[in-house]
Amino acid sequence: MLNFGAKSLIGLDIGSGYLKVAQLKDVKGKYMLELFDMLALQPSVISDEAIVEQEKLVEAIKELMKKSQIKIKDVAISLSGHSSVIIKKINLELNKSELDNMSEDDIIKSIRSSAEQYIPFGIEDVNIDYQILKPRNETGEVEALLVAVRKEMIDEYVNIVKESGLNPVIVDVDAFTLENMYEINYEIEEDSNIALIDIGANSTKLNLLKDGVSAFTRDSARGSKLQTDALMNTFQIPFETAEKLKRSEAVEGISPEQVETVIFDASEDIVNEINRSLEFFNEASGIDNLDELVIAGGGALVKGFPELLADRTGLNVSVVNPFKKIAISKKLDERFIKSVAAMAGVAVGLAIRRIGDR
pLDDT at 67: 94
What is the number of domains present in the chain? 2
Residue 19 CA, chain-centre distance (Å), reads: 13
Share of the chain above pLDDT 90, in %: 61
Count, residues in the chain: 358
Q: Is 128's pLDDT higher than 90?
A: no
pLDDT at 104: 66
26 confidence band (pLDDT: 50, 70, 90): confident
Q: What does pTM read for this prediction?
A: 0.90
Task: Name the residue among 341, 329, 13 with its Cα closest to residue 177.
Answer: 13
Q: Say if residue 257 is in the same domain as residue 207.
A: yes
User: Is position 336 within any domain?
Assistant: no
Domain span including residue 128: 85-149
pLDDT at 215: 83
Q: Say if residue 216 is in the same domain as residue 101.
A: no
Q: How far apart are CA 342 and CA 197, in angstroms?
A: 11
Instruction: Please compute the mean of the pLDDT values over residues 251-262 and round it to a whole number.
Output: 94
Cα 95–Cα 87–Cα 323 angle in degrees, nearest 5: 110
Q: Say if residue 281 is in the same domain as residue 218.
A: yes
221 confidence band (pLDDT: 50, 70, 90): confident
Contact 137, 77 (CB under 8 A): no
User: Is position 248 within any domain?
Assistant: yes
Contact 140, 100 (CB under 8 A): no
Q: What is the CATH number of the domain that holds 253?
A: 3.30.420.40
User: Is position 33 within any domain?
Assistant: no
Q: Say if residue 200 is in the same domain as residue 313.
A: yes
User: Is position 326 within any domain?
Assistant: no
Instruction: Please compute the mean of the pLDDT values over residues 34-56 and round it to a whole number.
Output: 92
DSSP 205-248: EEEEEETTEEEEEEEES--THHHHHHHHHHHT--HHHHHHHHTT
140 confidence band (pLDDT: 50, 70, 90): low
Q: Say if residue 202 is in the same domain as residue 250.
A: yes
Structure confidence by residue, pLDDT tens digits, 301-349: 998 999 999 999 999 999 999 999 999 999 999 999 999 999 999 999 9
Torsions phi, psi for 74 (to 5 deg):
-75, 125
In 10 A of CB 47, how many CB atoms? 14
